[in-house]
Amino acid sequence: MLISFDRIRKIYRLSEIEIKALDDASFQIEEGEFVAIMGPSGSGKTTILNILGCLARPSSGEYLLDNKNTEQMNDRELARLRNSKIGFVFQNFNLLPRFSALENVELPLVYANVGKKARESLSLKALGEVGLSDRTGHLPSQLSGGEQQRVAIARALVNNPPLILADEPTGNLDSNSGREIMKLLHNINYQGNTIIMITHDQGIADQARRLIALKDGKIVKRDG
Ligand SMILES: Nc1ncnc2c1ncn2[C@@H]1O[C@H](COP(=O)(O)OP(=O)(O)OP(=O)(O)O)[C@@H](O)[C@H]1O
Ligand SMILES: [Mg+2]
C-alpha cells in the first residue's frame, strides 16, 4: 500500500472561528492507482493534497506514505520524503518566471544534489517525453498555457517519483490542451506511477479509475 489516511482531521483556527477543513477522512491508495478527488469549493480537496504532499501536517489522525508514518518525522525528513517520492502539478503551473523551461525542469534535481551534466540530460529527456524538445530555452512567458503545464509535468516527473499529485491540472486550459495533459497523465500512470488528481470536471474525473468525493471536509463517496 502506498498511502494510508486514517481518520485525518485538519482544523484551522482563526481567532474565535474553527474551520474543519478535513473531518475524519480515511482512505487507502495502492501503488499504480489513478484517483480523482472531487467536491465543491472549500470541501477540503487542496487540504488533502497538501497533507498527501507533506506540505502540511494533519491536526490529528495518521498518514502513512510508503509504510512510513509521517507523524514521527521532523520537517527535514518530511522534505526529503517529499523530494524523493512526490511530484507536484498545480492549476497555475507554478513555474519560475525567470528560469527557462529546462531550468524549471532541473529544479527538483538541484534539490536532490544531482550534478549539472546529469541534471541537464535527465531534464532534456523529460521535456522530450512531454513533446517540448524544441522549447527548452523558452521562458514560461514565451510558452502557451498547455506548454507551461507540460513543462510543469516534466518537472514533476524528472526525478521519477512514484507519486504524482495534481491540483486541477487542466483547470486553466482549453479543452484541447486539457486533453493533451490528460493523455500525458495516463501515460505516466501506465508506466506505473500513482496519480492523485483534483478536478472540478466530471468528464476528467471519469477518466480516473477511482473517485474520492468530498463534502464539508468529509468523504462522501469512495469508489473502488
Ligand atoms: N490556511 C488556512 N487557514 C484557514 N482556513 C483555511 C486555510 N486553508 C484552507 N482553509 C479553509 O479550509 C477549507 C478547505 O479548503 P481547501 O483549500 O482544501 O478547499 P478546496 O476543496 O481545495 O476548494 P477549491 O475547490 O475552492 O480549491 C475552506 O473552508 C477554507 O476556507
Ligand atoms: Mg483547492
Which residues pair with residue 68 across a beta bridge? Answer: 65
pTM: 0.93
Give the residue, out of 8, 18, 47, 199, with the most ligand 1 atoms within 8 A of its beta carbon, to mutate for a pocket test.
Answer: 47
How many whole angstroms separate alpha carbon 46 and alpha carbon 49? 5
At the topology level of CATH, where does 3-222 sit?
Rossmann fold (3.40.50)
The atom number, within ligand 1, closest to the CA of 44 reads 18
CB of 92 closer than 6 A to ligand 1?
no
163: Cβ contacts below 8 Å, ≥ 6 apart = 2, 3, 52, 65, 85, 86, 87, 193, 194, 195, 196
**Nearby residues for ligand 2 (ion, Cβ within 5 Å):** 45-46
Write down the residue that cell numbers 471536509 correspond to.
217
Tell me the pLDDT band of 89, cut-offs 50, 70 and 90.
very high
Cell of 125: 529527456
Helix (H, G, I), strand (E, B) or coil at 112: coil
The atom number, within ligand 1, closest to the CA of 49 reads 18
Q: What is the mean pLDDT of residues 43-57?
A: 96
Under a CB-based contact definition with an 8 Å cutoff, are residues 21 and 47 in contact?
A: yes
Tell me the pLDDT band of 224, cut-offs 50, 70 and 90.
low
Where in the chain are the domains? Answer: 3-222
Q: At residue 77, does pLDDT exceed 90?
A: yes
What 8-state DSSP symbol labels residue 184? H
